[in-house]
Amino acid sequence: VVVNLYPFRETIAKPDVTFAEAIENIDIGGPTMVRAAAKNYNHVAIVVNPDQYGPVLAEIRENGDVSDDMRLQLARAAFKHTSEYDTWIHQYLQQQLDGETEFPQVLQLQLEKAQELRYGENPHQRAAFYRESESKHASVGAAKQLQGKELSFNNIVDLHAALELVREFTSPAAVIIKHTNPCGTACAQTLSEAYKKAFEADPVSAFGGIIGLNRPLDGETARAVSALFAEAIIAPDFSAEALEILGAKKNLRLLATGGASLEPAPYMDMKRVAGGLLLQNSDNFDNPRAELKVVTKKAPTEAAWEDLLFAWKVAKHVKSNAIVVAKGGVTLGVGAGQMNRVGAAKIAFEQAAEQAVGAVLASDAFFPFRDTVDAAAKAGITAIIQPGGSVRDEESIQAADEHGIAMIFTGVRHFKH
Active site residues: 39, 179
Strands 173-178 and 209-213: antiparallel
Angle at 19 between CA 17 and CA 22, to 5 degrees: 70
φ, ψ dihedrals at 400, nearest 5° = -60, -40
Q: Give residue 337's region: left, alpha or beta (phi > 0; psi -120 to 50).
A: left
Cβ neighbour number for residue 385 with a 10 Å cutoff = 27
- 109 close to 55: Cβ distance less than 8 angstroms: no
Q: How far apart are CA 141 and CA 390, in angstroms?
A: 39
Helices (H), 180-333: 191-201, 203-206, 219-225, 240-246, 302-315
- Across the strands, what pairs with 324? 334, 362
- The amino acid that residue 213 corresponds to is L
- 226 close to 202: Cβ distance less than 8 angstroms: no
Count the alpha carbons within 13 Å of 416 in the hemisphere toward its beta carbon: 23
- 345 close to 368: Cβ distance less than 8 angstroms: no
Contacts of 407 (CB under 8 A, 6+ apart): 294, 295, 296, 373, 383, 384, 385, 386, 396, 397, 400
User: Which of 265, 207, 214, 250 shows the shortest CA–CA distance to 235?
Assistant: 214
- 270 close to 277: Cβ distance less than 8 angstroms: yes
- Across the strands, what pairs with 129? 115
Strands (E), 173-240: 173-178, 181-187, 209-213, 230-235
Query: How many angstroms separate the most distant Cα atoms in the chain?
Result: 89
φ, ψ dihedrals at 335, nearest 5° = -105, 115
